Structure 1
Amino acid sequence: MDGKVALVTGTSGVAAATCARLLELGVRVLACGIDEAANATLRERTPGIVVRRADMAEAADVEACVADAVNRFGGVDVIVNAAAIHPFGTVVDTDAATWARCLAVNLGSIYLTGHFGIPALRNRGGGSIVNLASIQGHACQRGVAAYTATKGAIHALTRAMALDHAPDNIRVNSVSPGSVRTPMLAVAARHFDGPDADVEAVFRRFGDAHPLGRIAEAEEVAEMIVFLAGPRASFCTGGDYLIDGGLKAGIGVR
């Protein structure tokens, strides 16, 4: 992948790990995120990366990110859609603004990077898009209505994009992780166990639910993303790839 160009949405967790792995492979990376603290951390820890502040739910911001990648690096070969928010609540508990924001960030950002980015991929003779979905798009907890709705929709949108853009030599896939050690999972730990939660203890409890007995590291998910983005996955498109420690393979009855 040496010399390729990747646009990555999100600047922490799996997105940050993916950026680091792409850079190791010689990919030029432009990462886009709204959280300035996460942006600064990614710049500090990942030499060679370009980071832009952007709201990935805003068309003008996404268009500017794509244009920056094209102007700076000459084009775009890979898009990794990892930007997300994770509100909790049922459809009754979730207010309309939160519902709309979750759909705009988690799902709308994928539409926007495709809308503005696919022409850039076409100009390079094709490329790859990898969307970060979730095991929660297959089977979910209680109280995550907005989040799980977006992740299930990502599976469907991935299939649609794969079919529509196969003639352009553009492959589109998604990955569906189980629990992953990320800032988002730490927020979930505090949601369930309170603001003073022992986050590592909660992570161990989450890990116990997975047949492999642990949660994933962000770097493990990044490896799958980078594989799908690269030439070794040249016949993979329209698929969703579980990286869930066996979580979906079992049922909860004991």
Structure 2
Amino acid sequence: MTDRKHELIANLARVEERIVSACASAGRKREEVTLIVVTKTYPASDVRLLSELGVRQVAENRDQDAAPKAAECADLPLSWHFVGQLQTNKVRSVASYADVVQSVDRARLVTSLSTAAVRAGRELGCLVQVALDAEAGGRGERGGVAPDGVEELAALVAGAPGLRLDGLMTVAPLAGPYAGRQQEAFGRLMEISSSLRAAHPAANMVSAGMSADLEEAVKAGATHVRVGTAVLGVRPPLG
């Protein structure tokens, strides 16, 4: 067994312990939370090792890295999540391999994703990215739609051919009223999710929490946590 595989085994075990503990503290069942491993900047060889170790959900944030990696790993039983800000000129590529796009934050992107999904003969799961640092009617510093825009955007996704409205995603904001208050931020996301599910009962996925704050996300009720560094290590600098 390679040193890298040993490292990933140990890291995954530590993350699993954290999720189990967080679920126990929150009175939740472990199976209520799905781990998505964020593999951005890491090679396809790491994705293969993760698959061998039972990981089934992986995420990327840049199409230029994700597309060749997904192609190289096409034989693996993986679901690919796209979690980065998505430009419309990358949509056709992303729609060819992503199973879920977690960063839907504007009407034009919905239209582009729908066209690409239909062309590819695929159904794409979509999460509306909520920006808790955005003013009403605006967008967040790291993408996302302000809370007051979620209902309208979700309705567009739900009515678009080739798309499936799965739920919501957020990133703990660095600015605004929720900066440094992850627990309150994720709690607010759950409130928005509850409202969304009143109109779209199947849109029950809530993606929140990363390596530093997964416990707060689990406590709030997140169904999916996106963990990169805690599994794969400190990321190499981007070229």
**TM-score tier after normalising by the smaller chain length:** 0.3 to 0.5
TM-score (norm 1): 0.38
Flag the structure with higher helix content: 1
